[in-house]
Amino acid sequence: MDFRLSDEQRDFVDSVRGFARSKLDGFAAAVDGLPRETIRQVAGQGLAGITIAEADGGQGASLIDAVLAIEAMAQHSAHGADSLQVLNFGAIQQIARHGNDDHKARYLSGCLTGELVPAIAMTEPGAGSALTEMTTSAKLEGDHVVLDGQKIFSTNGDSADVFVVWARFGPGSKGAGAVLVERGTPGFEVDSSHRFMSREPYGTLFFDACRVPVENVLVAEDGFRRMLAVFNVERMGNASRSLGYGQAAFDMAAEYTKDRRAFGRRLVDFQGLQWKFAEMALKLESARLLLYRACTNADAGLPSALESSLAKVACNRAGFEVVNEALQMFGGYGYEEESPLSYMLQRTRGWQIAGGTTEQLLNRIAEGALGERFSQRPPRPVEAAT
């Protein structure tokens, strides 16, 4: 067991930091969506498809490298970290892992340069945590698949070019699959008028007899099992950004309290605040260890459900709680609308819901810790004794 980064990993992290500091903006809200220019810049820096095979246009590196990059980026640039997420963790992983050569040529290569922005469309108004209740249907008709239904909360969906749309090809847990749908396909409408609390726009998607060529079917059956394994990778991007924001907030508060004075002393000289810093460091360090463990143990780049759940919950909590404490240390200046901490608080709050809510993941952790599966469905009525 070795808890130290290698020299190469340290150099890599330094180079990501240097790039973020010198070329990208800090923590401004993406009011008009994630800037395309930033996605292309980050891709141009060789930070796209870090874990994707070189044969498919990626860098062929490990999950821990991708996580180190996004954690470092998230300490300096919100748009940079979101770009890294798009270029490495979400829909792009689903296309890389499940796509055939044709999908990779038509979509993956463009996603890796930032020319195409992909988005995930899973959640429906009536199916969030209980994703198996989704009703969007995919019916095969000759050489097309016809989609009907609605999706909500698609990150970057306001402007994305291609969507990994989860839909039902048949009943039951084996009946789910996924289809690649291009923006502009007849029968597919995107409402981009809604925003999250953080001011990020998201997409609400409507499919009305939307005909997509059958070649665009990414997964035709057993989609929940196949896609959710890849989804644990997405969770690592979410967790790393939470952790990076938490570390950034810690650093901002440390600098501020060493300068700002009250009662004739520096703020940092008050033990009440020193203990807050100690608690913040404890949260960040323990979350970081769980995150790095999930990534270094990842089998073929896919972290286990249990380790990724532990890592995501710990990083999400650490990020949000540390940002919140840092904001408190800035007093009224932390609560100003322009304060980066105000934006960071909103983002770290959202990550506790996105990519598997804390409660859903606690259910998974309980199962792992207790060695038992617990159905979340209501118990079946007991048969009357005869």
Specify the residue, 302 or 354, whose C-beta has the smaller distance to ligand FAD.
354
Upper half-sphere CA count for residue 256 (Cβ side, 13 Å): 19
Report if residue 128 touches ligand FAD, rule: CB under 6 A: yes
Distance CA 195, CA 31 (A): 9
Determine the Cα–Cα distance for residues 264 and 262; give it in Å rounded to an integer: 5
Q: How many CB atoms lie within 10 A of CB 44?
A: 12
φ/ψ region of 269 (left if φ > 0, alpha if ψ in -120 to 50, else beta) reads alpha
Instruction: Give me the least distance between CB of 217 and ligand FAD, in Å please.
Output: 18
CA distance 76 to 354: 22
Comparison of 109 and 360: residue with beta carbon closer to ligand FAD: 360
Q: Verify binding: residue 133, ligand FAD, rule CB under 6 A.
A: no
Residues 327-366 that bind ligand FAD (CB under 6 A): 350, 353-354, 357, 359-360, 363
Stretch that binds ligand FAD, among 56-64, 153-161, 173-181, 278-286 (CB under 6 A): 153-161
Cα distances (Å, whole numbers) of residue 1 to 4, 300, 304: 9, 19, 19
Q: Which residue has the tokens 């141009």?
A: 44
Q: Which x/- pattern over 80-119 shows residues binding ligand FAD (rule: CB under 6 A)?
A: ----------------------------------------
* Cα–Cα dist 2/21, whole Å: 29
Should residue 326 be labelled a site residue for ligand FAD when binding is judged by CB under 6 A?
Answer: no
Q: Is 154 in the site for ligand FAD (CB under 6 A)?
A: yes
Q: State the DSSP H helix or E strand holding residue 359, giving kind and residue range, or none if neither.
A: helix 358-370
Give SS3 for 123. Answer: coil
Taking the complex as a whole, how short is the minimal distance between the CB of residue 181 and ligand FAD, in angstroms?
A: 13
**Sign, CA torsion 370/374/379/382:** negative
d(CA 241, CA 79): 11
Copy the structure tokens of residue 313.
């919950």
Closest chain position to ligand FAD (CB) = 128
Q: Does 155 bind ligand FAD (CB under 6 A)?
A: yes
Contact status: 122 vs ligand FAD (CB under 6 A): yes
For residue 163, the minimal CB distance to ligand FAD (Å) is 9
Contact track, ligand FAD, 193-212, x by CB under 6 A: ---x----------------
Under the binding rule (CB under 6 A), the answer on residue 153 touching ligand FAD is yes
Q: Which residue has the tokens 């899973």?
A: 122
The answer to the question of residue 178 lying near ligand FAD (CB under 6 A) is no
Contact 151, 141 (CB under 8 A): no
Closest to ligand FAD by CB, 109 or 129: 129
Q: Is 271 in the site for ligand FAD (CB under 6 A)?
A: no
Least Å distance, CB 355 to ligand FAD, is 6
Residues lying near ligand FAD in the complex (CB under 6 A): 120-123, 128-129, 153-155, 196, 350, 353-354, 357, 359-360, 363, 376
